[in-house]
Chain A
């Protein structure tokens, strides 16, 4: 069965500082990997995805993530955080078959200090 671990429940960074949110997955084959962001009262917005090819993927809002098969990781990074980035971030893994139903981590709540 597939699973996702986001070890950091809460992270606080200062505006302008760099950010890395950790994600580890468990899946038997090459996974499809996603990062979504959720603001209060909002649905999930896709930040970026990995299906295949280049292991460093770029997303919206200046985010990027790197797929590392050897570490079963897909960490999300941003070089300089903005106050508007405060939200909850979810990593998810999807199967190549089965309609790509997603398995999500428990999320990381990001707080940005001004």
Chain B
């Protein structure tokens, strides 16, 4: 597809369960970002990949959150032992990853996670 694709669009889980959220970036984009948007708030940065490596994971709230991008394309955000406070929309974005820094991030529609 032409844009950033996120699956599933909605995920309902029970407290304590494990979830995986997937992001398929725009073809050719080397940089990939995860953000979390809680109700009534702006998106908050979680983690940024350049290629396969996590270049900045300073936004991950705790060690229950983990993300991978093994082949430098698709990324998976993994949340262990989910808590009700994890309920939010998880947004993924990708960009060309230019070294000069003038990168435009293109966002997917997000995954709405509800933890019951």
Residues of A within 8 A of B (CB): 4, 32, 36, 41-46, 49, 51, 90, 92, 94-107
Known: A99-B97, A101-B33, A102-B35. 11 other contacts (CB 8 A): A51-B102, A99-B50, A99-B55, A100-B95, A102-B43, A103-B45, A104-B35, A104-B43, A105-B42, A106-B41, A107-B42
Return the chain A residue nearest B41 by Cβ. A106
Interchain nearest-CB distance for B64 vs A (Å): 21
Total residues of chain B contacting the partner, CB 8 A: 29
Q: Report the bound CA distance from A99 to B103 in whole Å.
A: 8
Given A90-B42, A90-B43, A102–B105 Cβ distance below 8 Å?
yes
B43 neighbours in A (Cβ, 8 Å): 44, 90, 102, 104
Residues of B within 8 A of A (CB): 4, 31, 33, 35, 40-45, 48, 50, 55-56, 59, 91, 93, 95, 97, 101-110
The 5 closest A-B CB pairs, nearest first, are A104-B42, A43-B107, A44-B107, A43-B109, A96-B101
Q: Report the bound CA distance from A104 to B44 in whole Å.
A: 7
B35 neighbours in A (Cβ, 8 Å): 102, 104
Query: A99 and B104: CB pair below 8 A?
Result: no
Pick from A42, A101, A107: contact of B48, CB below 8 A. Answer: A101
Q: Report the bound CA distance from A104 to B42 in whole Å.
A: 6
B31 neighbours in A (Cβ, 8 Å): 99-100
Point out which of B31, B55, B59, B105 has the most chain A C-beta atoms below 10 A from its C-beta. B105
Pick from B4, B105, B108: contact of A100, CB below 8 A. Answer: B105
Return the chain A residue nearest B112 by Cβ. A41
Given A99-B50, A106-B40, A41–B109 Cβ distance below 8 Å?
yes
